[in-house]
Amino acid sequence: MHANSHSGRVAVITGASSGIGEATARALTADGFRVALLARRVDRIQALADELGDGAIAIEADVTDRDSLVAAAQRVQDELGGADVLVNNAGVMLLAPFTSEQRAEQRQMVEVNLLGAMTATEVFLDQLRDGGGDLVNISSVAGRTARAGNAAYAATKWGMNGWSEALRQELQPDVRVIVVEPGAVATELVNHITHGETKEAIEQFYDATSITADDIAEIIAFAVTRPHSVSLNEILVRPTRQQG
Ligand code: NDP
């Protein structure tokens, strides 16, 4: 890391209260970014902002609530001078067989993972365009590999990949669009699965396989600190132990 080499750049991270988002906030702060931490659990992002210092701010925001994102963008503009990087990281992975009819959870995944990222991007886009920014979309191996039991989650991540590629072409050369597709990463993500059998199987897989949120955060930080002429469009990163 090159401390302070990106002093003055501002990164907005959705889902910064835990896991990959929290780790990314730490990595980007170490690289000299000022960060705006967005999530619903305001106590967690406030504690992180206090710890990071250096202009870090915590903003309570739900990516399914456009008004809260508009208010967040206003604060980023007023307090930090606008966003240079937006990391669309907020997400849920409520895996279950499609036939288990968990309709509310399927809908929540689409609303948070896909529509939430689209809304945050639409709201922050003028700030990103102003001076040449980066859009980092956290997709998944599940955005390239569909399998029985992850239909709705895979739909959100395949959707994110298609949307991101179209957006990359539309926004270049002003804004770089960078898609990151992690495999199993040890975070709170699996804790929220409600389908018992699925949860047990995924926990076993994660216990045996996962890499850390810091591993992914370092890759995000690397991607956004390349010269603007270089665009790492798509980064698929599995634990070496992960087969599919
Ligand atoms: P975590 O559960 O640790 O983090 C998820 C984050 O999303 C939390 O900060 C949570 O904050 C936030 N979030 C959830 N719903 C909303 C909402 N409606 N509005 C705003 N924020 C929300 O999991 P990860 O760090 O693993 O997940 C981060 C991203 O990485 C997700 O998009 C996930 O799909 C992706 N990913 C993760 C992998 C893994 O194996 N862990 C693999 C591939 C991709 P809060 O609840 O405070 O709002």
Q: Percent of the chain scored above 90 by pLDDT?
A: 94
- What would the pLDDT profile of 12-30 be if each residue is shown by its tens digit? 999 999 999 999 999 999 9
Q: How confident is the model at residue 53 (pLDDT cuts 50, 70, 90)?
A: very high
pLDDT above 60 for 68: yes
Mutate to test the pocket of ligand 1, among 12, 62, 93, 235 (most ligand atoms within 8 A of CB): 93
Q: Is the pLDDT confidence value at 4 over 50?
A: no
Q: Give residue 6's pLDDT.
A: 65
- 153 carries an active-site annotation: yes
How far apart are alpha carbons 10 and 25 in whole angstroms? 11
Q: Residue 5: what pLDDT?
A: 55
Mention every residue, 6+ apart, whose C-beta is less than 8 A from residue 22.
16, 44, 48, 213
DSSP three-state, residue 101: coil
Domains and CATH numbers, the chain: 3-237 (3.40.50.720)
- Does residue 68 have its Cβ closer than 6 Å to ligand 1? no
pLDDT of residue 101: 86
